[in-house]
Structures are given as C-alpha cells and as structure tokens.
Amino acid sequence: MTALAVDPNAPVRQDFIRNIVRDDLQSGKHAEIHTRFPPEPNGYLHIGHAKSLCLNFGVAEEFGGTCNLRFDDTNPAKEDPEYVEAIKEDVRWLGFDWHELRHASDYFEVFYLCAEKLVQDGVAYVCDLSAEEVRAYRGTLTEPGRPSPFRDRSVAENLDLFRRMRAGEFADGSRTLRAKIDMASGNINLRDPAIYRIKKIAHQNTGDAWCIYPMYDYAHCLSDAIEGITHSLCTLEFEDHRPLYDWFVDQVGLTANPQLLAPLSAQGWHLEAAKPRQIEFSRLNINYTVMSKRKLIALVQEKHVDGWDDPRMPTLQGLRRRGYTPSSLRLFADRVGISKQNSLTDFSLLEQALRDDLDAHAERRMAVIDPLKLVVRNLPEQHEETLRFANHPKDPSRGEREVPFSRELWIEREDFMEVPPKGFHRLVPGGEVRLRGIGIVRCVELVKDGDRVMEVHVELDPDTRPGGSATDRKVKGTIHWVSARHAVPAEIRLYDRLFNVPTPDDEDDGGPGYRAHINPESKRFVTGFVEPAAAHCPNELNMQFERVGYFVADRRDHQPAHPVFNRCVSLRDTWAKQAGK
C-alpha cells in the first residue's frame, strides 16, 4: 500500500508532536513518517483509544506517511479473537485504514533470536526467583534493589536454560529470562526487567508453538524497530519506560544485525528496520467515567451494563450504539488536543462535540416520548391532511418530508400544565400555544381520570394556519406533535451518564469505588410515538427529535415494524446545572 496522500486543504494542526515530525522531515532525518496504533487485544477500544487513533493515523495522513495497525498480542491468557475483530471494526468505523496489519506474534521467532543474542552478549540471564521474590529483590523508590543470586550465571548456562525454557522443560512461572541492566538504578524499570516468562497456554495466532512469551516492554519496542516505525507515540505512563525501550533497541541493534530478521525474510517479508523514537503525550481522562480495562470488564461480567456495546459504556462500540459519529469523536479529539500535561476533561466537552456535529448533519423529525392526547375539537373527526416539513432548517438541500396531520394528536405531557409555574409558556387551561407548522390553538376543556389529565381539548384559530390572514399573530410558546392516527409506537431508550459523580474511581482516596456510583437513572425505556418518516429510517441513522434531543435508530434492534431509538444526547447540557456551573 502506498503512503497516504497529503490533503493541501486540511487545517494545519500545531502541537509538540507534529512540530517534532515537521522538524525531522525538514532536517532530512526521515524521508517518510511511519507510525503505528498498537492495541493489546485484551478488551474493547474505548474513548481514550480514539485520541490515540486520531493522533497516530492523523499524523501519518497529514505528513504523507503510513500507519500500521499492530496487535501487541504477547499475553494469550487475556486475549481473544473477538477483541481483534472488534478493534479492526472500530478503526475502520472511525474512518481510518492501516498501511499493514501486523501482530507482535508475527515476530515471535525474531524476538527469540534477539533474546539469544542478549544472552550471548552477557546482558541477559535466566533467573529462578519467584515473582514474589523478584518484587522483594527489586527495592523501592528510595532503596536500590539487590542482585538476583542467579545474575552471574555463565553465558553457556543461560543459553542452555533459555533453550530448555523454550522446549517446555520447566513449569509455568519457575524461571524467567531477565535483562542485566542496573539493580541500583533510580528508574525501577531498569532493575533487571523480565524479558520472557514461561506460560504454557495456546496463543490465538501461533497455537501451541510457544510456551514462553515475551514481555510487553521487550516486544513492543522491537516490533516498532522491525516495522521501521519512526515515531512511536504513546501515553505518559510509558515515559519512565523509555530508557528501557531505548536500551532494548540499542542492545539488539536490528539495523546492524539484519540476520536477526531472517525468519521474516524467509517468509517473503521485505523489512527495513529502524531505530524508532518514543514520544509520550497525556492520556485522555474524562470525568463521570472509568476507562480501566479491568474495570470495564468487571462492569460487563458483573452485568452492571448490557455488554461491551451498552450505550452507556465509554467503549467505541458503546459510543457508536449510543449514536456518536466518527466525525464527532474526531472533533472531540481535536478540541482536547495533544500535550504533555495530564488533565481531566469534562464529559460535557464530549457531549458538546456530538451536539455540534449532529446540529449540522442530523435531519429533524417529530416524536413524543411522554404522550398526552390533544384533540382539535373544531376539526371534523375524520380530518386528515398531509403537510410538508423541511428535513433540516439550516440546509435546504436536504429537501422536505411529508408529515400527516389529523384531529387527534399526541403532545408531550410536559407541554401542558394545569397549574403552571411562573414563566411557563406552553399550554395551560384557557391559554394559547402554537402547534408546530399548524397554527395557534386555545385550550378549552380537559378530560381527567381523577387528578390525572387524560386529554386536552383545543380549538384551532383557522386564520393562523399557513396562508391565513393572521399567520403573524404572536404567542409565546410553540410545541411539537405527532398525529395519533398515523404515529408509530416506538421504544425510546433514554440513556444518560453511567456514573452520577465526577470521580467514580475513588477507591484509592478511600471512597466506595465505581460500583457504588452507578447512576440508577442512566437507562430508562419508555414507549412513545414517532412520525412515520422516523419509523422507516435505516439503522444507525442520527436525527434530532425536535425539542426533545438527538437520537439514533438502534444499530441492532431497530426495525420499521418495531422502531427503537437511543438518546444520544440532550439538546442542552442538563448536568451543568446539577454541577452548579
């Protein structure tokens, strides 16, 4: 695949990473930029990954380079082909495509040869300490570590033991291959980190071919070097790992030892190894959510949510089903920006990106989610007509649609109040309001069951209808409606934020933890009515239900005979008032 073409009309983005890339290109350090997006297939992608996706693929696209999608699949105990397929789907859905699809497991033979080289060079050794003993020997942030009693094994003994580890002679966890760096280093990551561990478990790609697997820090940097990655972009928690990243790349020296790539060359791969540069940026942190994979898995497994694609989840699958669009997530990533400073992003910024995107692109429809019968008493019982409404008030090119109108309508129950509060400008006994696209009506009678209003009877002023003599007569309120005779019953799923406090992940601060902060109002299903044009829309079509909010036809459950709509976001930020903003 060729490099991505540079769009000359694209806006010039300015951040410290792009400035580094510009300088590297202008200085001639690199003729072409190569980036990669390297998820571990041990869960679904979430909104934080969207920021990384937009950065890695965006930089490649902006500078005419290439970006690989690589699965860092070095821990088969936690990985699943389901996650692999979901990740590929998410990347494509966001509008990106990869130069090459790779897996760390593609390089297992190369990793092994590189590890043997480290042993032969005297900078790696086989250690018999248990995991608990390794932690005890490692030291603390203020105290140096102690060398393993196996640190000074001979090269011959280490090479023999390592080869026997690969052959499966030893039990899980009984031995590791460790790098020999510096047990007194102020950076704990350099205190003889593990390179390989014994794990007798089948791998999704390599089956039972291996019973030892490389550690992430070792495999990740060598994967970058093998693929010729120029800029390895990762989040700030890897900043302390960068000296180890560089140590492995330098000690192995793939550019000076191309024979280590022989297993790949034998398969017909044409590779140009390079020394990549790791650059860290701040990860995305959003309030009112959790993004730890461990906690997201717990939410699913403990059935606090309805799966990975529950519309309340911060996963890309969940956001997609909620009605978030690729363009809204890219807009959000642009607004958040790239920096070295850790910060907490307000959830409202994500919601506003969706509002701004849908305001421009979503067609309008009418729907009533809490119906109250309204009868236009001065129209004949069988009155019926077809009106034409604009699909989008700001975009005439989207055309018009037909909307049926009849004597009996459904309106929102909140649009009528028998005892209105001060400032209420909708329908009240004896009061007037404008019916959207129809004219002005006056409330003349109520039908009640006890204290509950069952029907509101009104009279329509015919002179205020379109084309009438009093179309410019003013009233303060306008309400929407759907024809009771023609409207289609629909399942309306009213989703909201999954957590009801800004920092649900408060266990480390002595709080009860995220499970205690799940918002009981985050999911509510009701039966409402929608105009026919809404019911017959395709799955995943976004629309604005006028005066109600932005909704999407559910990706999986919606069908014309049984419409199902998920609320994407309200028209205004209702959480700002709760938070006292």
Token output for 299: 């939410």
* Residue-wise pLDDT tens digits, 294-324: 999 999 999 999 999 999 999 999 999 999 9
Asked whether 376 and 405 are in contact (CB, 8 A), the reply is: no
Q: 453 φ, ψ to 5°?
A: -75, 125
Token output for 11: 């806006």
pTM (predicted TM-score): 0.93
Find the catalytic residue in 40, 61, 432, 546: 40
Q: How confident is the model at residue 509 (pLDDT cuts 50, 70, 90)?
A: confident
Domain ranges in the chain?
Answer: 362-578
Backbone conformation region of residue 430, classed left if phi is above 0, alpha if psi is from -120 to 50, else beta:
left
Q: Is 40 a catalytic residue?
A: yes
Concatenating the DSSP letter of every residue in 259-327 gives GGGHHHHTTT--------EEEEEPPP-BTT----HHHHHHHHHTTSSSSTT-TTSSBHHHHHHHT--HH
**Is 581 annotated as contributing to ligand binding?**
no
Asked whether 288 and 134 are in contact (CB, 8 A), the reply is: no
Token output for 262: 């022989």
Tokens 């993004």 label which residue?
291
pLDDT at 5 over 60: no
**Is 19 annotated as contributing to ligand binding?**
no
- Of the candidate ranges 297-301, 386-390, 573-577, the one whose mean pLDDT is the lowest: 573-577
Find the catalytic residue in 88, 283, 373, 465: 283
**Is 577 annotated as contributing to ligand binding?**
no
* Residue-wise pLDDT tens digits, 442-485: 999 999 999 999 999 999 999 999 999 998 999 999 999 999 99
Find the catalytic residue in 13, 163, 293, 295: 293
**Is 235 annotated as contributing to ligand binding?**
yes
Separation CA 431–CA 428 (nearest Å): 5
The H or E element spanning position 89 is helix 81-93
**Is 457 annotated as contributing to ligand binding?**
no
Token output for 307: 């799966």
**Is 50 annotated as contributing to ligand binding?**
yes
The closest of 278, 273, 226, 334 to 20, measured between CA atoms, is 278
Counting beta carbons within 10 angstroms of the beta carbon of residue 573, is it exposed (0 to 12), middle (13 to 18) or buried (19 or more)? middle
* Residue-wise pLDDT tens digits, 397-439: 999 999 999 999 999 999 999 999 999 999 999 999 999 999 9
The H or E element spanning position 197 is strand 194-198
Would you state the CATH architecture of domain 362-578?
Answer: Beta Barrel (2.40)
**Is 293 annotated as contributing to ligand binding?**
yes
* Residue-wise pLDDT tens digits, 514-552: 999 999 999 999 999 999 999 999 999 999 999 999 999
For residue 560, the cross-strand partners are: none
